[in-house]
Structures are given as C-alpha cells and as structure tokens.
A = this chain, B = another copy of it.
C-alpha cells in the first residue's frame, strides 16, 4: 500500500519543473532547501519508486550517475560528449528497429533502449569560435 509523502511529491514536482535531467545528488541538494534534513536515501528510494510507477524516467548514460526526467512520455535523449549535458529530442518513433533487430534471432524482442550522442548546440558554437581563433585551448 502506497502512502502519501511530502518528500516524494516535492521530488516529482521538482523534476517536472526542470528540463536538464538532474542526478540524484542534484535533486538531493535542491530538496535540502525545502527539507533541510532530508536523507539522500530518501531521494534514491523515491526516485526508484516514481520510476517503477512510470511517473518519471531514469536515464542511464553509461558514464557517471543516472539522471532523471520528470517527463514520463516516451522520447529519446541526446548526451553531449563535451559537456555531458542531457537534452530531450523531439519525439520520434523508432519501433521499427525492433523488427530489424529481430532478424534471425530466436528470442523475443520486446523493446530497446537508445540514446544519441554528439555535440550540443552550445559546445558546437564554442568549438567553432575556437577554430576561428586558431584552435587555442580555452578553459570554459
């Protein structure tokens, strides 16, 4: 039986209001403002719970900590190789790749996980500027 909790509601609302796919640590730090003695364990527990309820999404980038998305609608993510930021992509349907992948496979393919990588708009602009200046390394 699921019981209401202020902390869980705040975590969910926080995520709904953000579009940068924060980590559990970031969420924890922000929750501390509202609940000064909230526990990191509480954040993790509620993130897992909300994910299994389908109210938020967990993004495993493969490098570093998992990230969380308050938008539960199906969509794909873009991860910048330079700055590590995670962005939402316009909703597209790629279900046909399940059929392609199933060729000559004896098991049952239910779905896929996918994300895209490259350079985000900001990092692309920055790199272009550096090139004009002669590829001088810059700390940004």
Instruction: State the A residues within 8 Å of B (CB).
Output: 60, 62, 76, 78, 80-81, 87, 89-90, 92, 94, 97-98, 100-101, 103-121, 123-124
The reply to whether B90 and A103 contact each other, CB–CB distance below 8 Å, is yes
Which B residues lie within 8 Å of A112 (CB)? Answer: 114-117
Which B residues lie within 8 Å of A119 (CB)? Answer: 107-108, 110
The A interface is mostly helix, strand or loop, or mixed, namely: mixed
Which B residues lie within 8 Å of A60 (CB)? Answer: 60, 62
The reply to whether B117 and A109 contact each other, CB–CB distance below 8 Å, is yes
Q: How far is the CA of A124 from the CA of B110 in the complex (A)?
A: 12
Question: Of all chain B residues, which has the CB nearest A110?
Answer: B118
